[in-house]
Structure 1
Amino acid sequence: MSEPGVGQPGKRTIQDLVAELDPRVTVDHEMESYLLARADEFIDSVMHFACRIAKHRGSDQVEPRDIQLHLERNHNIRIPGFASDEIRGALSRPAVEVKPKNAGGTDKSKKKKLNPEAAASLRAARVAAVQNARGMGRD
């Protein structure tokens, strides 16, 4: 069997890649075989996951976003030139709608301070609600 990259146009060997970084460094055949095996395992893993994602989407075709999702989520690899913001947005989108802190129309800067009696009454009501909720969980 011939060595990878030899006699095959467009194919490069690990040694070719290393020589681009530092021409003085060499990679022996055993190490090159090991690195190629790890690269094959990585590609198999990525493609297996991408196929599962495509199937989950109801498609029989793998799209770049399927591969990108796996690379970003499991390997923290971002590929420039793809819509990674769309993928990242889908990953970080909350499952439930979160209301803004000012949802009730109140402006905190204009909030009035309660008098001490009203504050104590409000605190007592909150404590009672917490105790009631704890008591309901024990039943």
Structure 2
Amino acid sequence: MDRDYVVDPATESALLEFYTEWIGNAVALGCEVAKRRKSNILKARDIALHLERSWNLYVPGFNGEMLKPYRRPHASELHRQRQLAVRRT
């Protein structure tokens, strides 16, 4: 944001209220997720799960499944034979 940019006090107040409510809601629903996994400790992944499901926000490092590099499946022997036949012609 530009240093010279000034936010109207009413706008600033409305944004702060929105963020406070949004964060409170995320923490409350994260606590429900922790409760479902039978824990009394709130973890970052609980809040990340709520944000992913409710807001479609993905927090790096807290996805349910880690991204695995794509590996091409090994070609079957029949497929290899067909490729050789095509190359010969």
Kindly report which structure 2 residues correspond to 1:1-139, keeping only aligned pairs within 5 A, or say none: 21-80=1-60, 82-84=61-63, 87=64, 89=65
Q: Alignment RMSD, CA only?
A: 1.6
- Flag structure 1 segments of 5+ consecutive residues without an equivalent: 1-20, 90-139
Identity %: 37
TM-score (norm 2): 0.67
Deviation sequence 1:52-93 (CA, Å, 0-9, x none):
01011000011111000011111111222x231xx2x4xxxx
Output the TM-score relative to the length of structure 1.
0.44
CA contact (8 A) 2:34 2:46 kept: yes
Greater relative contact order, per chain length (Cα 8 Å cut-off, separation 6+): 2
What is the CA deviation profile of residues 33-60 of structure 1, one whole-angstrom value per residue up to 9, with x for unaligned ones?
Answer: 1000000110111011100010110000
Instruction: Specify the structure having the higher radius of gyration (Cα).
Output: 1
Would you identify which runs of 4 or more consecutive aligned residues in structure 1 move more than 4 Å?
A: none
User: Aligned partner of 2:17: which letter?
Assistant: A
Equivalenced residues, count: 66
